[in-house]
Structure 1
């Protein structure tokens, strides 16, 4: 047993309510006392949680850590077991299958393709802000939730009248509440039936969208299997929506809590892009990287991990590592150190440019439209989603 193994009940666990409520305090303690921390799921299965920047960056690019659940020694069932029909996507694959699917999907996320969406995202943002009736408004409901859902659904070609259901399923899937494993499986089954119907409709009436292009790749070029087609549609819709929602919400909150930074954004001395990047470091919407499984016995951060052991890397902890960042708890958009919010290595997030663009446009239009915006209640009274899978606000009430 390594000397870095935790001792005593004061070391927080990934599944503690205290860590969910205030992750930054708990992770700071783990970085000091147990930077690679062996804990167990509520089902009693062992997992290793990696918290320091250097170890997280190493793990993200380590080929000895597999995303393929077939390499797990435990069941991997705790809130991560999907129906087989939704399993064939990039976050469950290693090379060469990972490279094959990534090449196919990356065509939809080129710099040119993302830039071409700018005017449409701008128009959607303006429409949402036009619909705001103040002075009191919940910005999660009015802006941060509907904008990414609208963008990703237009990109894929998902019908407008089905989008509310997918939002509800996503929230269920990411909840760690009691009974969530059963509810999550039900939500995933609903997602699967939903996507199968959408794909069937697209096959009979293709349009100029990403999902139609994926169906063509499946039917005419045999570039992916039917299971991979459904799974990738699920991943793009699921990940492309929820992460962008909370990037927007967390960035707006960061500025509202730091009026001096808001002032420099308004006068043009701090670019909106810098605010988005600092939000990704300071309060990333996705606290954990995708779970990984050791292909062999290995040592990470001085701690032994057995073959088949499940590893979670904490992006939210790595991005506030005192050994990597100066004054890491400060919201400072002018800092230059590189964060790990979108990952590192071959699994770096394909949707990162789109999420950045949505956040930049949403924040810029919001603060231009409402120069006197402020929080409607103390920051300590804001409600965060009780989930270690996402770091985001349930509501963001403001006065315009």
Structure 2
């Protein structure tokens, strides 16, 4: 990997005769092909006037690319100027020690008094560029207790383990010491497909990714029965539910994920056709849950279908109130069924009928008695 780098070099100090001083900055080492910049400062304790300079350098190792002129005359910007700075940039051509020399040939102070002259030399060591390896192959990739038949050019491996495995150890051997590897060591496993990636980064930063698709079969499902229907509990990776937090619960000595709030515990179950639904867990009992308009209803009794309606008793998990409900199948509407009021109405109607019947019977009996008495008198 080759990088173009601009070097600003360390400062050196050189005093010239009476009042002038020259600072030249340079670095110790530069890679061939990179740019090096020499920074020269001429200063005085009293205001500067003008001067002349020239620059010499090793043109076999350095190629001038710009900046201040190599030969020039300078004049101070104003009467308070006490220093001037020049920059000279070069591209390094070859390996070796390259010299740079700044010659201050004439120098006058603002007072037109001579400020002294002098030279300053600096060197830079030019070296070969460092090679950064691009090798991002693995020498070997290992999975404990399993032979993956590794090939450095093959990036994906499929593995099936026993259902009892909950973790696995992944190991890898570098092909070069400068490589870095991530994704190895002991990693946890869950039932189902586990995708594990191992990244190999070469010295130059390039990355190669190996992938392990590790399948762990599901353990024997946990079965429950609700109204003679059998369901399998969904053990892991259950969906979130507003108002509930995920928790873990042991059922049949196996840990499963559940949803809980301060009152209720909800599980996800799957029927024989693979349909997933929610159920309410109350100790060792389970109730089916109907979700309607973002409200959950735990059904207490079997649904009774009459025509286009379903009747059932359910607990509203938001209000914690239990009611009888009527569900209209076509329109998909849900209403509280006022069963008690209907029963009361029916009872009143029966009483009215009984009273009226009794009055009629009593009237008929009285009529018979009167008739019989009149007949005896005659």
Asked whether the two chains share a fold, i.e. TM above 0.5, the reply is no
TM-score computed with the length of structure 1 as normaliser: 0.14
TM-score computed with the length of structure 2 as normaliser: 0.15
Q: Decide which structure has greater helix share.
A: 1
Structure label with greater radius of gyration: 2
